[in-house]
A and B are shown apart, each in its own frame.
Chain A
Amino acid sequence: MLEFKLPALGADMDEGTLLDWKVKPGDTVSKGQVVAIVDTSKAAVDVEIWFDGVVEELKIPPGERIPVGTVLATLREPGAAPTPAGPSAPHRASAVPPRISPAARKRALELNVDPAGVTGTGPGGAVTLADVEQAAATVQTPPFAAEPAPEKIDRQAEMRKAIAAAMSLSKREIPHYYLAETIPMARAQAWLTAANAGRPITERLLMAVVQLKAVALALRQFPELNGYYREGAYQPAPAAHLGVAISLRQGGLIAPAIHEVGDKTLETLMGELTDLVKRTRAGSLRSSELTDATITVTNLGEQGAELVHGVIHPPQVALIGFGRIGERAWVENGALSLIPAVTASLAADHRVSDGHRGALFLIELRRLLQEPEIL
Chain B
Amino acid sequence: MNDQALRTEVLNTLNDIAPEVDVDTLVDDQPLRNQVDLDSMDWLNFLIGLHKKLGVEIPESDYAQLTTLERVLDYLKSRLP
- Is A11's beta carbon under 8 Å from chain B? no
Q: Are B39 and A201 in contact (CB-based, < 8 A)? A: no
Closest Cβ of chain B to A103, distance in Å, is 13
B60: chain A residues within 8 A (beta carbon): 193, 196-197, 201, 204
Q: Are B41 and A202 in contact (CB-based, < 8 A)? A: no
Beta-carbon contacts under 8 Å, A18-43 to B = none
Q: Are A277 and B33 in contact (CB-based, < 8 A)? A: no
Name B37's closest neighbour in chain A (CB-CB). Answer: A303
A208 CA / B43 CA spacing, docked (Å) = 13
Closest Cβ of chain A to B63, distance in Å, is 10
A207: chain B residues within 8 A (beta carbon): 40
When the two chains form the complex, which single residue of B20, B38, B44, B57 contacts A204, counting CB atoms closer than 8 Å? B44
Beta-carbon contacts under 8 Å, B18-61 to A = 18-20, 33, 37-41, 43-45, 47-48, 51, 57-61
Contact (A302, B39) CB under 8 Å given A193-B60, A201-B58, A202-B48: yes
Q: Are A197 and B59 in contact (CB-based, < 8 A)? A: yes
Q: Are A249 and B44 in contact (CB-based, < 8 A)? A: no
Contact (A206, B57) CB under 8 Å given A201-B51, A250-B20: no
A274: chain B residues within 8 A (beta carbon): 41, 45
A301 CA / B59 CA spacing, docked (Å) = 21
Complex interface bits, A150-187 against B, C-beta within 8 A gives 1, otherwise 0: 00000000000000000000000000000000000000
A247 CA / B18 CA spacing, docked (Å) = 12
A196 CA / B62 CA spacing, docked (Å) = 12
B interface, CB within 8 angstroms of A: 18-20, 33, 37-41, 43-45, 47-48, 51, 57-61
A-B interface, 6 closest residue pairs, ranked by CB to CB distance from nearest: A301-B39, A196-B60, A201-B51, A302-B40, A206-B40, A277-B41
Given A207-B40, A208-B40, A273-B41, 18 extra CB contacts under 8 A: A193-B61, A197-B59, A197-B61, A201-B44, A201-B47, A201-B58, A202-B48, A202-B51, A204-B44, A204-B60, A206-B40, A206-B41, A250-B20, A274-B41, A274-B45, A302-B39, A303-B33, A303-B39
Q: Report 22 cross-chain contacts, Cβ distance below 8 Å, ordered by A residue.
A: A193-B61, A196-B60, A197-B60, A197-B61, A201-B44, A201-B47, A201-B48, A201-B51, A201-B58, A201-B60, A204-B44, A206-B40, A207-B40, A208-B40, A208-B41, A249-B18, A249-B19, A273-B41, A274-B41, A277-B41, A303-B33, A303-B38
